[in-house]
Amino acid sequence: MDRYRKYREGLLHIGRALQRYGVEFVLVGSAILPLVYNIDYDPLDVDLFIINKSTILDYELFEKIAQENEWDMGTTDHGTIYFEMVVSGELLKIDLLENILDIYIPSQILENTINIKIDNLYVRSIKLEDLLVLKAKMATKDAEDFIANIARILADPKYNISINKTYIKSIIDLFSSEKENIIDRLNKNGIYID
């Protein structure tokens, strides 16, 4: 059995439900690894960045979507919404994110996405380079472990994946006040920028 099937199926369910209500979103978390790059990695959940609605201001809309689909709904510490659904017999959490409190994804990242197709659903996704910079910005032990793991994957010829360091530098520049810290965290964990 495909161990990432629940993520694909969950993304299909949530993507179709959100699209029915005109909610635009971008796949932003570590689920891009198995879903976009075919990297053997279990993301534990799916993170979607909501583009044209607010999980706070449009709370009733998201509550309606959850009710129609018989999904559980909760609120994160950041005040954003998550859905929980059963997919392939397993519980799957889908976080719906937006720029609030310490969550910040610049519009340049959200506008410069790649498209993936899952069955007949097209989904916009951030790139691996974007994810590395966002993780480095987080400045947590888990984020640094994630970066180090990606560095090992990039060094493994079986994946045949490379990153665009010029693009990474342009994304780091979007976080001017944290630029040096982001570069240091990437370098320290095996993603050598300078």
* Tens digits of pLDDT across the chain (194 residues): 477 889 999 999 999 999 999 999 999 999 999 999 989 899 999 999 999 999 989 999 999 999 999 999 999 887 789 999 999 889 999 999 988 756 789 999 999 999 999 999 999 999 999 999 999 999 789 999 999 999 999 999 988 999 999 999 999 999 999 999 999 999 999 999 87
Distance CA 64, CA 17 (A): 10
Q: What is the pLDDT of residue 17?
A: 97
Domain boundaries, the chain: 5-126, 129-188
**Intra-chain end-to-end CA distance of the chain, in Å:** 42
Q: What is the pLDDT of residue 1?
A: 42
Q: What is the pLDDT of residue 189?
A: 95
CATH topology of domain 5-126: Beta Polymerase; domain 2 (3.30.460)
